């Protein structure tokens, strides 16, 4: 544009140069003003920051936490419909740290990710295992518990199910709760054993006691707790599980919220509060709750 003006100026008589420059400057000013008016709304929309999940939770004044209520010691729905366990306690502590109220939202292992994607809750806390399929749709906090899958069976048969090779035999009935990592692990590793679907994760261990299934493979921490609740059952090498897994908070893809939750968890662990709460729920007297 400047080159064009200079070329144009050289071709004009001197007496007309001044008026031509003035006209050109006015034309450029008008064009700049017009472009500014047209582009300003779009530029503003392009750079306008979107509120983070953390900001939305604080603005709403409520933290919505999805939980299954069927997984002791992490989350259990008592007969009075209250959610108790490690994760409801942790969720209440997180809500206090955020300065908001807590709303616990029932979900299930089968519908957990669909409920998350349908925005039924902000985060989920229920002894949730970190896996790559879930990671495709969501983020996880820093892990707060390390675990792995191991068998639980009638004590009289525990020597029969020490290895996956012993378990994966015709006639062996392995019970699973649909939709969770227990089912996934069983289906990935068993080809000859019979997999029995049972959709009530609260009473699933009673099925083994009653002889309707031979064993279940679940997280080592759960086998220890259920063996305490059912004297007929034994946790099989819980200190040497078949695989490695971690439990964490399921989060939306929001860095502000993840950083907050990770820092909150770090402070909870460093203060010793997390270990105290976990010990409480591992030693909790569940006998006055059904199953």
The pLDDT tens digits of the residues spanning 158-174 come to 999 999 999 999 999 99
**pLDDT, tens digit (0-9, with 9 covering 90-100), for 47-71:** 556 889 999 999 999 999 999 999 9
Q: Is the predicted pLDDT of residue 35 greater than 70, yes or no?
A: no
Averaged pLDDT, 37-55: 66
Q: Is the predicted pLDDT of residue 46 greater than 70, yes or no?
A: no
Which residue spans within the chain are E strands per DSSP?
A: 62-67, 70-71, 75-77, 83-84, 101-106, 123-124, 139-140, 145-147, 149-154, 173-176, 194-197, 215-219, 233-235, 245-247, 250-251
Q: Which of 275, 268, 277 is nearest to 96 (CA)?
A: 268
**pLDDT, tens digit (0-9, with 9 covering 90-100), for 5-34:** 445 545 545 445 456 555 555 656 556 555
Report pTM.
0.78
Q: Is the predicted pLDDT of residue 184 greater than 80, yes or no?
A: yes
Cα–Cα distance for residue pair 98/69, rounded to 1 Å: 23
**pLDDT, tens digit (0-9, with 9 covering 90-100), for 105-150:** 999 999 999 999 999 999 999 999 999 999 999 999 999 999 999 9
**pLDDT, tens digit (0-9, with 9 covering 90-100), for 227-247:** 999 999 999 999 999 999 999
Q: Is the predicted pLDDT of residue 40 greater than 70, yes or no?
A: no
């Amino acid at each position: 544009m400047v080159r064009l003006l200079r070329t144009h100026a050289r071709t004009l008589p001197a007496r007309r140069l001044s008026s031509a420059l003035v006209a050109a400057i006015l034309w450029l000013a008008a064009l700049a003003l017009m472009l500014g008016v047209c582009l300003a709304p779009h530029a503003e929309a392009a750079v306008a920051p979107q509120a983070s999940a953390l900001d939305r939770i604080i603005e709403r004044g409520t933290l919505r936490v999805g939980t299954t209520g069927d997984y002791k010691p992490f989350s259990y729905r008592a007969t009075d419909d209250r959610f108790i366990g490690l994760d409801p306690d942790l969720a209440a502590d997180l809500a206090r740290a955020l300065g908001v109220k807590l709303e616990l939202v029932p979900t299930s292992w089968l519908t957990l990710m669909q409920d998350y994607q349908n925005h039924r809750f902000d985060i989920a806390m229920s002894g949730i295992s970190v896996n790559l399929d879930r990671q495709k749709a969501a983020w996880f906090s820093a892990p707060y518990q390390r675990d792995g899958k191991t068998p639980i069976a009638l004590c009289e048969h525990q020597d029969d199910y020490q290895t996956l090779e012993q378990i994966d035999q015709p006639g062996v009935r392995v019970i699973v709760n649909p939709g969770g990592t227990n089912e996934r692990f069983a289906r990935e590793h068993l080809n000859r054993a019979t997999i029995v679907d049972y959709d009530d994760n609260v009473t699933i261990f009673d099925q083994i006691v009653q002889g309707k299934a031979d064993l279940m493979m679940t997280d080592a921490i759960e086998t220890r707790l259920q063996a305490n609740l059912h004297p007929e059952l034994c946790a099989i090498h819980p200190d040497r599980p078949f695989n490695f897994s971690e439990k964490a908070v399921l989060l939306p893809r929001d860095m502000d919220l993840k950083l907050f939750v990770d820092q909150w968890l770090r402070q909870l662990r460093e203060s010793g509060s997390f270990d105290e709460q976990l010990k409480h729920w591992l030693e909790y007297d569940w006998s006055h709750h059904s199953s």
